[in-house]
Structure 1
Amino acid sequence: MAVKHLEVERKYDAEPEFTVPDLAGLPGVTGVSAPETHHLVATYFDTDDLRLAAHGITLRRRRGGSDAGWHLKIPAGPDSKNELRAPLGRAQVVPARLASLVAAYTRGKQLSPVATLETSRTVFHLLGENGGALAEIADDAVTGRVVAGDAADQSWREIEVELAAGDAVLLKAAGKRLIKAGARKAESSSKLGRVLNGAIQRPAPAEYSGTAGDAVLGYLREQVAAVLKWDPKARLAEDDAVHQMRVATRRIRSALQSYRAILDREHTAPLREELKWLADALGEVRDLEVLRMRFTDRLEEIGESAPQSWLTEIGRQEAAAYRRLNVTLKQPRYFALLDSLEALVTDPPLTDRAGRKASKELPGLVMRMWKKLARAYDEIVSSDDPEVARHEMRKAGKRARYAADLAKPVLGKPAMETSKRAKKVQEVLGGYQDGIIAMEHLRGAHARTTDTSEAFTLGVLYGVEQCEARATIATLAETWRNTPEPSF
């Protein structure tokens, strides 16, 4: 099994004659450990077109040092990466678990050695009051070479400051002292990036010329990036990952519908269907996750601490749903969807209206979705099935909100206010819908249980959900009445 570790570090370049300064006295530092020297040999794996490197991801097999093995590093924010580790295993075979975590990027392409790095490392630790390590300082003399081609070897010296129990204040202070001594901020955030720099094909920064097409594509690029970002986290069942990946998927699908005047609907209709397929697969996990968390909180509210077999069953169903999701995320159909999403933002099927000024074109498109929300509210009163009508209004509210979110960078405060108003309505309907789903599940569990104590608990929970759902939906009319129509 892969072991996860959050790596927070900064790198600095240094000349061969550079002397690491005394780092004692930095914030919280009471001592410095004796130095240790290691010889590290790392082989880096990637696709032949360096897809991982293009996204700032590194996958290596390293021998030597205290953490020999396979290391997968995925960007997690400024100066930080999520690092997952696996034992050394076989030299040319990437551990299946690590390979699966980058499948959204490789999409079936083979992972092979692309570069090797040999490092002579001198390492010491900055210690706190209790003697524990606050940070690790690694002084590296590195030689890197590309596996294919005839590029010359590269050699350089690099100082890494990686936090252990220390904080950002220490990280910054250590960097200042190194720079004062003659080091400089590293040219590359990774050793591999330095070796492969000329061969990595990174996407060119998008240019914004103020058109409606630019506004829509900018939003879509963010959401496609979010899908890729949350993919490995969803595979690992990290907290909120499936939810965030599902939201990004839904936002893309909603934008294709709300802004079909900008993107040709004939080209995007098949993509919307595939996005629905992915959202449904993510939804199976998310719905069970929400029920498990909801009922866990409810049991705490009513003071019930006895184990509940029906709640345990939800956990088992959730685990099974995660397994099915991981199978789905390995399918060629999923990889084809990712290819289509990237093609959408690199070669978009723009309409003539896409070239119009965004500040003139977007208000009408946002208002169009708001008016659909208003009609959905009116239909609740006249509908033969108010439950279905409320569900449709909830979906309309979400589309209106997402349409406004897309327009925020262009329209500013009016779009922000529209999004807030739509969200308020959506939350009322969403809270009611969640209660209805919870009641349905409780009824089913009650019908299956033979434990009288659990049956009583299920009945209590059903009553709580029913009262809350009724109270929530009773506020809809007032909420809508106090939600003015947007103006742009």
Structure 2
Amino acid sequence: MSDREIELKLVCEPAELERIRCAPALKRMKQGRASGKHLHSVYFDTADLVLGQNGMALRLRRKGRGFVQTLKTQADRAGAGTVARDVGEYEAALPGTASTPDLNKLPEELRARIRALANGNAISPRLVSDIRRTVQNIATPEGDLIELALDRGALQAGGHDAPVCEVELELKEGTPASLYRVALDLNEIAELRIGHKSKSERGFALLHDTVPRAFKAEAVVIDHHATLADAYEIVLRHCLLHLMANEEAAVTQRSPEGLHQMRVALRRARSALEIFRPVIGGDLAVRLAAEAKWLAGELGAARDLDVFTSDILDPVELGAARSAALEKRVMQARDEAWERAIEVLRSRRYTRFLLEYGLFLTEKNWHVKRKAPAFARDFAGAALDKCLAKASKLGREIEDLEGDDRHELRKRLKRLRYALHFFSSLYDPEEVKAYLKYLNQLQDVFGGLNDVATAHMLLGRLAGGKEMRETASRILAWHEKRAAREWKGAIRLWKRFSGTTPFWRGEAA
């Protein structure tokens, strides 16, 4: 039997499951009695986990005297608002004597694909999932039916194990938006976080002791015939996926690059909402932009101290003049900033932001203004012109810019670069590449200048006492000389850039 399973997963501490189980608000939605299940499942794959790498999870689960074989295929996040998962599911009953999956029970296309991926290698047990589940059906005020599952247990693979404590909301009848609304209600009852990985993904990671890594934003692909609303959805989903892809690296590994990419994703989302705002948006879009600004700000201190350590402190050869006390204070401040960043990323407010963002993408209840162009390609050129005009207004005075004005020009150039990334698929790639080269060079120079300005602020706050202040002065003097050289280069770069004809003023591809 084939089906689609739309689910939203939330993870928490054990005490939070009890809060949910006893919540009066949830009791009012209950349909029938709750039931308990013991789910013992074995997941199968090749030694190099080729099925998992291709978005498949093949398992046998004990049911009565027999087994249920299930193949889950890669989640389609587009139709479920990105945070929830729309998963293909293929089930078949197997006898109690079965010890391995029966691929003949699968549709021919999937059976052939699995055999091609395995390439003659054995498909064997790789992961055991042992879960105690409480299931309760609930009905929303809108009449949608949802299965609420509270899971406690463990995953075991390769001699390692990982605890499981999570809430699964599976849509039985209705629209995916109801999953988000229920999840938002639960988030007010208990401390919850979005579960980005399935049990099989978490379990298979144990086998290779996989370290979460950071991801840069992938290319945005907007079809030449896409409507304005289509482009809006594609760009916003792209930003949300970029944000969520880096959360694990930032939270579990304290990855400087992971945190940086999260802030980039938040800035891109804010820029997208601002760029599209004259023609499409809504009240929730305004709220999302404000929350993205808050989140980026809360993560900013840790990012600033990461950059200060790697780009400001480390390059300067101070020899005997180096202040151990200053370095200790910087490291202490950095640790405190990281603690705050992780606290924010584990907060209800962050979870609510992700759920509201996903709900916005699911419901698509944005308002397209009456005079808005129908197609993305008709809007893109005007949006790029507007971003360029704002940057050029300051850029014309570049030789006289100081402090805050330089920083403002940097932000305007960054927004232009984001807009180019959003709409680049509508234009000739070679023309986009050449134009972006100038912008990237300018951003590198402005980024370095901003780091020096941030260093002044941090050293002013952290450097106390004569020894630390002397070290701080040497660090700043070294970077000020570099910044003066780079600013001259920025002026030359701007003049070449401003003399370049914007490619989008021709026809879109």
Q: TM-score, normalised by structure 2?
A: 0.57
Aligned-pair CA distance for 1:200: 7.1
Match of 1:392 among 385, 401, 408: 408
Contact 1:212 1:357 in 2 (8 A): yes
Per the alignment, residue 17 of structure 1 pairs with none
Partner residue, 1:224: 240
- Between the aligned residues of both structures, percent identity stands at 21
SS in 1 for 2:451: helix
Separation (CA, whole Å) in 2 of partners of 1:410 and 1:123: 40
Task: Please state how far the C-alpha of 1:144 moved relative to its aligned partner.
Answer: 3.7
Q: CA 1:476–1:343 in 2, change beyond 3 Å: closer, same or farther?
A: same
Aligned residue among 4, 8, 12 for 1:51 = 8
Residues 1:430 and 2:447 are matched in the alignment: yes
Q: CA RMSD in A?
A: 4.6
Measure the CA separation in 2 of the matches of 1:287 and 1:116: 48
Moved over 4 A (4+): 93-96, 112-117, 119-126, 150-159, 189-192, 196-204, 206-209, 301-307, 352-355, 379-383, 443-446
Instruction: Report the Cα offset of residue 378 of structure 1.
Output: 2.4
Structure 2 vs 1, CA of residues 144 and 315 (structure 1 numbering), >3 Å: closer, same or farther? Answer: farther
- Stretches of structure 2 that go unaligned for 5 or more consecutive residues are 17-33, 49-57, 70-90, 102-114, 131-148, 150-167, 178-220, 505-509
SS at match of 1:474: helix
The residue that corresponds to 1:360 in the other structure is 378
Distance 1:174 1:251, change over 3 A: closer
CA displacement, residues 17-43 of structure 1 (integer Å, 9 cap, x when unaligned): xxxxxxxxxxxxxxxxxxxxxxxxxxx
1:143 maps to which of 61, 72, 84: 61
Match runs of 1:68-147 below 5 Å: 94=14, 116-118=38-40, 142-145=60-63
Picking from 484, 489, 493, the partner of 1:470 is 484
Q: How far 1:411 moved relative to its partner?
A: 2.2
- Give the residue type in structure 2 aligned to 1:213: A
Change in Cα spacing, 1:348 to 1:289, as seen in structure 2 (3 Å) is farther
Deviation at 1:227, TM superposition (A): 1.7
Q: 1:481 to 1:265 in 2, by over 3 A?
A: farther
Provide the C-alpha distance between the structure 2 equivalents of 1:304 and 1:154, rounded to a whole number of angstroms.
74
Counterpart contact for 2:272–2:419, Cα < 8 Å:
yes
Note the C-alpha offset of 1:434. Answer: 0.9
Alignment match of 1:377 (pick from 395, 420, 432): 395
| 1:400–1:419 CA contact under 8 A, matched in 2 | no
The alpha carbon displacement at 1:157 in A equals: 5.0
- The answer (yes or no) to whether the contact 2:398–2:491 under 8 Å persists in 1 is no
Q: What is the alpha-carbon distance in structure 1 between the residues aligned to residue 330 and residue 345 of structure 2? A: 22
Task: Show the counterpart of 1:315.
Answer: 331
Q: Provide Cα deviations, 1:176-200, integer angstroms capped at 9, x if missing partner.
A: 2327xxx69x9xx9989xxx99967
Q: Distance in 2 between matches of 1:217 and 1:372?
A: 25
1:264 to 281, 300, 303: 281
* Counterpart contact for 2:384–2:419, Cα < 8 Å: yes
Deviations 1:105-151 (A, max 9, x none): xxxxxxx999755468999999xxxxxxxxxxxxx9943459xxx99
The answer to which of 369-378 and 413-422 deviates more is 413-422
Distance 1:175 1:310 in 2: 56
CA separation in 1, counterparts of 2:44 and 2:492?
Answer: 67
The residue that corresponds to 1:109 in the other structure is none
Q: Give yes or no for contact 1:254–1:399 (8 Å, CA) kept in 2.
A: yes
2:390 counterpart SS class? helix
Alpha-carbon contact 1:401-1:418 (below 8 Å) kept: no
CA contact (8 A) 2:41 2:129 kept: no
Which residue does 1:334 correspond to in 2? 350
Is the 8 Å Cα contact of residues 251 and 342 (structure 2) preserved in structure 1?
Answer: yes
**Is the aligned partner of 1:290 residue 2:307?**
yes
The aligned residue for residue 164 of structure 1 is: none
Q: Deviations over 1:238-270 (max 9, x none)?
A: 341111111101100011111223423655223
1: CA distance, partners of 2:340 / 2:474: 33
* Alignment partners' CA distance in 2, 1:442 and 1:198: 48
CA distance in 2 between partners of 1:436 and 1:141 (Å): 55
Unaligned ranges ≥5, structure 1: 1-47, 54-58, 60-71, 73-92, 97-111, 127-139, 160-171
After superposition, what is the alpha-carbon deviation per residue over 1:182-226, rounded to whole angstroms, capped at 9, x for unaligned? x69x9xx9989xxx999678989x996522322232121111112
Q: 1:275 aligns with which of 284, 292, 309?
A: 292
Letter in 1 for 2:446: L
Structure 2 counterpart of 1:235, from 251, 258, 266: 251
Amino acid at match of 1:175: A
Point out the more displaced range, 279-288 or 373-382.
373-382
- Aligned residue number for residue 345 of structure 1: 361
Measured after TM superposition, the shift of residue 381 of structure 1 is 5.3
**TM-score relative to the length of structure 1:** 0.59
Secondary structure of the corresponding residue to residue 349 of structure 2: helix
2:118 aligns with one of 159, 162, 175: 175
Aligned to 2:61, the other structure's residue is in SS state strand
Higher relative contact order at CA 8 Å, sep ≥6: structure 1 or structure 2? 2
What is the CA deviation profile of residues 146-177 of structure 1, one whole-angstrom value per residue up to 9, with x for unaligned ones? 9xxx9999556558xxxxxxxxxxxx999323
> Which structure 2 residues correspond to residues 437-452 of structure 1 after superposition, within 5 A?
437-446=454-463, 448-451=464-467
For 2:46 and 2:301, the matched residues in 1 are separated by: 48
